[in-house]
């Protein structure tokens, strides 16, 4: 799991590198988005696989919109970093990645469809 402080640093870097407005819009939403993939019920993970956790993470960051700007970028990078921490990654061209993130932001792609996309583009 990526720490809250690391997430803030990643977001700050992305805004610095690619432009936008710095800052958190809602710290509680950010913390909620970061903890969602690791939630349990009766000591059982709600999101069992790395793909499910990655899907929950990107969906929560993109939809909850916890930052003033850069939510889509940050959500995608956090998803990739989580996968990479677990020896996985995404293989997709720039257009496919763009369409994927935009479809989440616009509400076209559901959680299950997000997980399916990740799974279909997953490499070890």
- CATH topology for the 4-123 domain: 1.20.120
Per the confidence metrics, is the pTM higher than 0.85? yes
Tracing tokens 């583009």 back to the chain, one arrives at: 121
pLDDT at position 2: 84
Specify burial of residue 80 (Cβ count, 10 A radius: 0-12, 13-18, 19+).
middle
The mean per-residue pLDDT over the stretch 95-123 comes to: 97
**pLDDT tens across 80-101, in order?**
999 999 999 999 999 999 999 9
In whole angstroms, what is the distance from residue 28 CA to residue 51 CA?
A: 24
Host H or E run for residue 122: strand 122-123
Sequence ranges of the domains in the chain: 4-123
**pLDDT tens across 27-50, in order?**
999 999 999 999 999 999 999 999
């Amino acid at each position: 799991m990526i720490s809250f402080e690391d997430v803030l640093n990643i977001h700050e870097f992305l805004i610095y590198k690619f432009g936008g407005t710095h800052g958190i819009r809602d710290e509680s939403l950010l913390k909620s988005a970061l903890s969602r993939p690791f939630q349990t019920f009766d000591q059982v993970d709600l999101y069992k696989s790395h793909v499910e956790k990655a899907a929950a993470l990107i969906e929560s960051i993109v939809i909850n919109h916890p930052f003033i700007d850069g939510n889509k970028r940050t959500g995608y990078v956090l998803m990739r970093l989580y996968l990479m921490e677990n020896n996985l990654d995404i293989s997709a061209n720039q257009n496919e990645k763009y369409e994927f993130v935009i479809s989440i932001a616009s509400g076209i792609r559901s959680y299950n469809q997000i997980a399916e996309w990740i799974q279909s583009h997953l490499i070890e």
